[in-house]
Structure 1
């Protein structure tokens, strides 16, 4: 029998070492300093997120309050460096029960380098680019201490990557090959360090700005929710809902990890939070240790792909892709739901193969109908909730208007009512009888006993997504602020309110509420240490790219290896994203892979004729970056799960990646079929896409598991893969029997454009001498057609075309026009060879590609008929 307390300590140690800091000083004043710094950081972040600084500045006329917000990035990084130094031992041999002298020195140097930018901000502003020796000295100190902080809190991977880019900034100009590609001649010490530290182009760039204004609040919100009992409620509800099904604890692990992962900033913390309870349960019903850990790993890493937070990457995508937050959620929603439903199905197939049962459960059992409802719940329930929110806001709008007080009153009444109802039920306690069979709790009392925890989540989603004629959506930062404020209120009051409704003593519960609140502030700050320093270090990579154009070197290498083949290109980018993402927290992971790999797909893909929306490119690299969390040999989430399951971490990681193959398939699919990202689709089409994609993903899971209705023969698995491909990529088969595009060149190309319907996309293949290398290369851009007037359509895009000798010559686009970044800066318009439009393509009017769903479904029916007689047990 597993020693549960020992398992919990091992798991907590794993989180401490990876996420929150493993040092626990024996000296009371040192421990209090770390705790006090954590609380101060959380309070500071709440303060700058509120409107109080602006109100105070306006009322008093003192600009100090506004300046605090303006300089928040520097203070944010100072807190992160200080806590990284105090909470994480530098080496494995470093003392964990005290803070050594060299760490005190690093604290002073690191905080001093950050606060130098605050204290001397006016003097620095008077000498932009003309950095003094003191500026360079402080920049050098800051960079060194930052890299040390990254090493001690995150390990070597990010340090190595960032160091490589720093070396390129200083010495890249000495490589003739790199210089020919990037046209970069190198940078002096003053220029490079000033770029990295003294400006907002490097360390203190967009990534750290998003960490300061948004990510911290969402991490703090999750920490407060967990400390108040919300995380425990998620797990208990999942066990109550799914525990009695075949392989129930594993399915509950998937559902609870999805719910906690939506607001969690760490797959490791997610693994431990839910896995501490679900992994032992999985083992008790018959799952091997490695498979139990792998289910938890796959569930937890996928939580970082699930809206609305996506490990905080959603807010970075808003900045990098330059689209509204609501659009990021819309595009990420369908793949995440399909991926989780497929994981539930994989768990079900594993349970069938092993002949497992579920937990015992008092009362009514959940049948096949409930399973089908569960499969569709992610799509239907969330969609219905959105319409419910909008409808509710429409009803309340005449009464509430824009009054915050009326909204607060409604929420307060609802909260007190739900707490009063919850007080009628006992506190959430799971079966812990190690001698008897594990028992799943009943759903209704479990759900009701913590339903009030859903209110701050409702507030968060409401503010982020719901907009009416009189009420605009709030920014993500302000939405998280108000949700966090209400979460604080719940943490402080739900215990004493329950005690009052039950007629029990209130004092002890009030004290416990304050302890939960303080612990939430501490945990939120400690969870942010790695993210804070990681976003600063990731800013070095972004800064190097803006300074040198280093991503062009990577693009040149991948272009050479791929030879223009799109599939090889995407596979190379996927593998590099996996490698770059190893050992990095979600936010730093996304910053690194999006900065390095996304431009490669955009530029090299355009040369091969691949034109996809930028959000699809960023989602592609983000998916593979996140999969690094369960990819051996570095997969940290796999090590955390193995610490709980007592299984082999490498085998756990390999098995977890095996479960996640379905997730690895999705990015390739939505690159070639952007319908999966709900880009330019109607509601009926979106519903069709969901069901077809869901069926295809379930078939893919069945094929990779070798089990469908019965154990599959090899040719049956192969046939399931063919059916899956037909459902996911019906356009491939349509392309084999009908040309997708009508093509023309020269004057005929203008005629082809003028015959295209209004607004239809027209693909232009532009060929000319590369600005850096002088070699002729093609790229593809898209413009909307204007029937009968091709020149106007081109002019609207800033493209001036002249016909000369049967060729379409392109003049240099002006800055600010739509295609200036792709055409105006990449080609030499004044060389010996002109830039020309060599080909125009307009999509042909063809039969609907969805017709190929019919033969696919007929084949599926055939597989069902073949396997049905071989079934040896009930499917559910």
Structure 2
């Protein structure tokens, strides 16, 4: 779903995705379509064991990666090189090898032979190279460091030292079992993630993205800031079906960014609004980012619980972006769009409203307790059937093939990230590194929860500077979340804390992949969009602290009265932090007002009558001061006139 030209600004890949022509294009399309159909069969009708399904998934994803992504900027952009074709075939072979020989390996009691070791080494090299091309250099380097740590642990100091493992043990663990490459991360990618990406592709081809844009424009176009608020709403709606920040930018940004520029927003701000808003799509139920499915697997809970837990944090995040955009619109004096520039809401619902039926089908099936795979499969069927209700949305054979192709291609980067992160997860399990880091976090935080949360937040943000959201969550959840759980944080809250900050990695400079994608559409400098986008998302940075201290915000142990109070104080805290970050309320804040606003936001996070009372008092003071100063300025302005 991400256009080639929109990836040009990305700094995480060694080069842009290829655009194919002629026979090569036909082959790649065939391979992608076959991959999607194969995954539909594996996840809906097959009784294949997980490791074999994961192996097939890896093989086809590797094969597509070496065809889609060139090795360097100097490589041809319209066709694969001979070396790429060799790697593509080799990538497919390392997946098929496990599929074809795993039963024999089990009969040998998982005792490898020479050929097993050869394919193990080949698989590791191919995955690292595929990750370098599709995800960026940081994750392969990090994975290599973890593999070195597994081998030479006895050379590390203090608590980090361990006896070390043989190369034979490492190769066996990483490739020949389901505790390394083919572990939970790739399992989730091969099943839930792929199916929901495919579901999003079908919805996109049926015109759902256009419906969301029209619907958001009809509802929010008249608000202050107009198209910017449309971008926030449209990205939130797209987030319900895509779970991909970059896909959101590509679909909604191509419409909203030009509109924002037309009404007066600077290109860098227009791109930043879309980047920050689209990032929240990873948090938005029912189809959240890939990491949410990982979370359900790590915690061993139904996905529906993760989905419920995501509702309030997602709404809080979009409210935070809405507030930041509104303050900016006030600051530069923007107004909403005129009525004759907006589509009619009734007309939009009449012509395209039926396109939400598949999303309702997904929701109903998940709420009834059916598996995400079951829901995704019937969601696909619902898209095909409901889109045919109107001629304008009906999917012909061409759109059907394009949806299958885009689904497989969009899944490539996620699958490769999940495969390479398997090295890290495997090493953490082998060495007990997670427990070591957990003990050190507890020690460094002096047993103070707020300090431990701050340390984990900083670690997550630093990881986000080099990793995609899914990889960032997996590493943080594997290493840092155990520390929070040991300190009494609910497991779901601890993992959601890591998930949330992993999500923000999409707008954390210098990588900020979502911001670079938006910059390509806005025609702005990528780093300026990234910095501005992170500033816009800053009001949401406080939200994870809220649900750690008030787990009811994640639908845990709900008490209605306390939940309502937590929501109210959360909203007020977001407003205060947004005002402090944007340095504006009714007019520009002075230093004291800004300090009061920031302090109020921090105090409103922690539940308790004292902290809430002081936070509310500081909020009232800073608002009153700002209002009084505004009245004085107005009187002076009237007097001068």
Structure 1 length as normaliser, TM-score?
0.68
Contact 1:700–1:721 (Cα < 8 Å) also in 2: yes
Q: How does 1:261-280 map to 2 (within 5 A)?
A: 261-280=239-258
**Corresponding residue for 2:353?**
451
Contact 1:11–1:276 (Cα < 8 Å) also in 2: no
CA distance in 1, matches of 2:30, 2:404: 10
SS of corresponding position for 2:95: helix
**Corresponding residue for 1:704?**
581
2:260 maps to which of 282, 306, 314? 282
2:5 maps to which of 1, 7, 10? 10
The answer to whether 1:533 aligns with 2:435 is no
Contact 2:273–2:533 (Cα < 8 Å) also in 1: yes
2:238 maps to which of 236, 250, 260? 260
1:595 maps to which of 478, 495, 516? 478
Q: How many residues align?
A: 634
Deviation at 1:286, TM superposition (A): 0.9
The answer to whether 1:475 aligns with 2:371 is yes
Deviation at 1:252, TM superposition (A): 0.3
CA distance in 1, matches of 2:370, 2:32: 27
Distance 1:673 1:158, change over 3 A: same
CA distance in 2, matches of 1:244, 1:190: 65
Deviation at 1:519, TM superposition (A): 0.6
Distance 1:679 1:867, change over 3 A: farther
SS of corresponding position for 2:339: coil
Structure 1, 315-324 or 582-591: larger mean CA deviation: 582-591
2:34 maps to which of 34, 40, 50? 40
Distance 1:16 1:719, change over 3 A: closer
Distance 1:328 1:527, change over 3 A: same
CA distance in 1, matches of 2:579, 2:413: 38
**Corresponding residue for 1:488?**
384
Contact 2:243–2:281 (Cα < 8 Å) also in 1: no
Deviation at 1:271, TM superposition (A): 1.5
Q: How does 1:17-96 map to 2 (within 5 A)?
A: 22-26=17-21, 28-50=22-44, 52-53=45-46, 66-67=47-48, 71-96=52-77
Deviation at 1:851, TM superposition (A): 6.7
1:498 maps to which of 391, 401, 412? 391
Distance 1:90 1:692, change over 3 A: same
**Corresponding residue for 1:619?**
496
Contact 2:283–2:314 (Cα < 8 Å) also in 1: yes
Cα-to-partner distance string for 1:482-514 (whole Å, 9 max, x where unaligned): 1012113345x24xx537xxxxxxxxx97x622
Deviation at 1:172, TM superposition (A): 1.3
Q: How does 1:571-720 map to 2 (within 5 A)?
A: 571-602=454-485, 606=486, 610-720=487-597
Contact 1:266–1:585 (Cα < 8 Å) also in 2: no
Distance 1:219 1:130, change over 3 A: same
Contact 2:15–2:133 (Cα < 8 Å) also in 1: no
The answer to whether 1:519 aligns with 2:402 is yes
Distance 1:353 1:8, change over 3 A: farther
Contact 1:228–1:517 (Cα < 8 Å) also in 2: no
CA distance in 2, matches of 1:8, 1:89: 16
Distance 1:67 1:854, change over 3 A: closer
SS of corresponding position for 2:564: helix
Distance 1:339 1:172, change over 3 A: same
Distance 1:870 1:475, change over 3 A: farther
Distance 1:200 1:444, change over 3 A: same
SS of corresponding position for 1:263: helix
Deviation at 1:137, TM superposition (A): 0.9
**Corresponding residue for 1:303?**
281
**Whose radius of gyration is greater, 1 or 2?**
1
CA distance in 2, matches of 1:871, 1:209: 61
1:551 maps to which of 434, 437, 443? 434
CA distance in 1, matches of 2:438, 2:95: 34
The answer to whether 1:329 aligns with 2:323 is no
Contact 1:582–1:625 (Cα < 8 Å) also in 2: no
Contact 1:16–1:22 (Cα < 8 Å) also in 2: no
Q: Which has the larger helix fraction?
A: 2
Deviation at 1:595, TM superposition (A): 1.5
Distance 1:284 1:872, change over 3 A: farther
CA distance in 1, matches of 2:379, 2:74: 42
The answer to whether 1:210 aligns with 2:188 is yes
Contact 2:130–2:416 (Cα < 8 Å) also in 1: yes
Cα-to-partner distance string for 1:87-107 (whole Å, 9 max, x where unaligned): 111111111222212122212
Cα-to-partner distance string for 1:54-105 (whole Å, 9 max, x where unaligned): xxxxxxxxxxxx3477621111111100000111111111112222121222
CA distance in 1, matches of 2:488, 2:248: 36
Contact 1:710–1:871 (Cα < 8 Å) also in 2: no
The answer to whether 1:464 aligns with 2:347 is no
Unaligned runs of 5+ in 1: 1-6, 54-65, 363-438, 468-472, 500-508, 735-849
SS of corresponding position for 1:578: helix
Distance 1:490 1:14, change over 3 A: farther
Cα-to-partner distance string for 1:596-627 (whole Å, 9 max, x where unaligned): 2212433xxx4xxx311011111112222222
Cα-to-partner distance string for 1:242-289 (whole Å, 9 max, x where unaligned): 112221100000011111123223212212221111111111111111
Cα-to-partner distance string for 1:355-413 (whole Å, 9 max, x where unaligned): 11122223xxxxxxxxxxxxxxxxxxxxxxxxxxxxxxxxxxxxxxxxxxxxxxxxxxx
Contact 2:11–2:511 (Cα < 8 Å) also in 1: no
Distance 1:640 1:216, change over 3 A: same
Deviation at 1:32, TM superposition (A): 1.3
**Corresponding residue for 1:117?**
98
SS of corresponding position for 1:658: helix
1:227 maps to which of 174, 185, 205? 205
CA distance in 2, matches of 1:646, 1:861: 37
CA distance in 1, matches of 2:602, 2:126: 50
Deviation at 1:347, TM superposition (A): 0.9
Distance 1:674 1:856, change over 3 A: farther
Contact 1:195–1:543 (Cα < 8 Å) also in 2: yes
Deviation at 1:148, TM superposition (A): 1.0
Root mean square deviation, CA, Å: 2.7
Distance 1:190 1:725, change over 3 A: closer
Q: Which has the larger strand fraction?
A: 1
CA distance in 2, matches of 1:684, 1:560: 36
Contact 2:357–2:386 (Cα < 8 Å) also in 1: no
Distance 1:673 1:358, change over 3 A: same
Structure 2 length as normaliser, TM-score?
0.92
